[in-house]
């Protein structure tokens, strides 16, 4: 797992959320363009292009690293270490 700072982790989390919103918008645009193609003969290439954008954004979002669970585990490990040190003293 990647070891990143809390600030970078927060930035990456915000980036993932922004990408999620963009994916939803472009997925909806793909559906609308596909429907417009059926009824109004809008070129289907526009729907394909917006779908490609969805795929690229999804890949980018997937590769954005966050390690929220790792931070929680580190906090628990610190507490365990404190207890162990107190028992030794």
> Which SS3 state, helix, strand or coil, does residue 1 take?
coil
Full-model pTM: 0.67
Question: Position of tokens 């915000």?
Answer: 14
User: Nearest 5°: CA angle at 31, between 55 and 45?
Assistant: 70
Q: 46: which DSSP letter?
A: H
33: phi then psi, degrees, rounded to nearest 5: -65, -35
The domain locations on the chain are 6-88
The pLDDT-based confidence of 81 (bands split at 50, 70, 90) is confident
Give 11-38 pLDDT, tens digit per residue.
888 899 999 999 999 999 999 999 999 9
For CA atoms 35, 31, 53, 25, the dihedral sign is positive
């Amino acid at each position: 797992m990647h070891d990143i700072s809390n600030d970078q982790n927060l930035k990456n989390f915000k980036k993932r959320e922004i990408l999620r919103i963009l994916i939803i918008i472009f997925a909806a645009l793909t559906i609308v363009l596909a429907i417009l193609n059926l009824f109004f003969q809008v070129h289907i290439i526009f729907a394909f292009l917006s779908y490609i954008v969805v795929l690229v954004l999804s890949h980018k979002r997937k590769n954005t690293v966050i390690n929220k669970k790792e931070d929680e585990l580190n906090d628990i490990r610190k507490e365990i270490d404190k207890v162990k040190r107190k028992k030794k003293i």
